[in-house]
Amino acid sequence: MKFIYLILFLFLISCSSTSNLNPKKIQGEYILDDNFYGIGSSIKIKGNNSFEYEWVTGLINGITKGKYVINNNKIILNSEFQPESEEFQNKYRILESENKNLDSIKIRVLEKNGITLNYATCILINGDSLIYVTESDNYGFAKIPKVDADSLGISFIGYDYASIPLNNLKSDYLAIELNEKNPDFEYYQFFTNKNFKIRNNKLIGDKEKFIKKK
């Protein structure tokens, strides 16, 4: 009977220690427990409920900053940018949209300040099929046929790919401004309610484990 009481007592102590974690003791740098050469990452748990995730894969690297909350024996991370953030959604802007009763759809591809993008690739997609390909000319203009298509795709080196829905399009002239790529976001790593268990100076995720740096 005494043995059973002892086990129960130790169990209660364990539960108490995980449910009352000291935030200051959690702070520090945690290194990914991985032996692959050229691949690594770390999580710095800072004060003011902020964190910094730094990673490297070969010649590519990046930093994600965000906020965390502690819930019992878990730490939950959320990056400052989320997939639905404006910075990741606005791939293009339609500057003009008119119906000129043309026999085809005429588009003009531009960058900011009204500068034309010559030789931008323009494609029509219907379902999973690519049905038409062309390029903008020396003045940024391109013509695409009026056919059944789900979307118009426009790509140009150094700019975000624009996918423009055509299902309810009533215009046959479009002036489209592409968004220049931000190199800071090209390989951005998102954290959306990312959970880690806190145990013995470790952050334990579903597929990875970070060990606190001494």
- CATH number of this structure's domain 91-178, picked from the four choices 3.30.300.10, 3.10.450.50, 2.60.40.1120, 3.40.190.290: 2.60.40.1120
Phi, psi (degrees; rounded to nearest 5) at 136: -75, 150
Q: Which of 8-12, 79-83, 93-97, 98-102 has the lowest mean pLDDT?
A: 8-12
Cα 193 from Cα 69, distance rounded (Å): 10
**Prediction pTM value:** 0.57
Cα 172 from Cα 103, distance rounded (Å): 8
Report pLDDT digits (tens) over 31-85. Answer: 999 867 768 899 999 989 999 999 988 778 889 999 999 998 999 999 998 876 6
Q: Which fold has domain 2-84+185-212?
A: Lipocalin (2.40.128)
Q: Across residues 163-186, what is the average pLDDT?
A: 86
Domain ranges in the chain are 2-84+185-212, 91-178
Report pLDDT digits (tens) over 114-148. Answer: 899 999 999 999 988 999 999 999 999 999 999 99
Dihedral in degrees, nearest 10, Cα atoms 25, 51, 34, 73: 50
Range list of β-strands (E), 49-205: 50-57, 60-71, 74-79, 92-98, 104-110, 121-126, 129-135, 141-145, 151-155, 162-165, 173-178, 194-199, 202-204
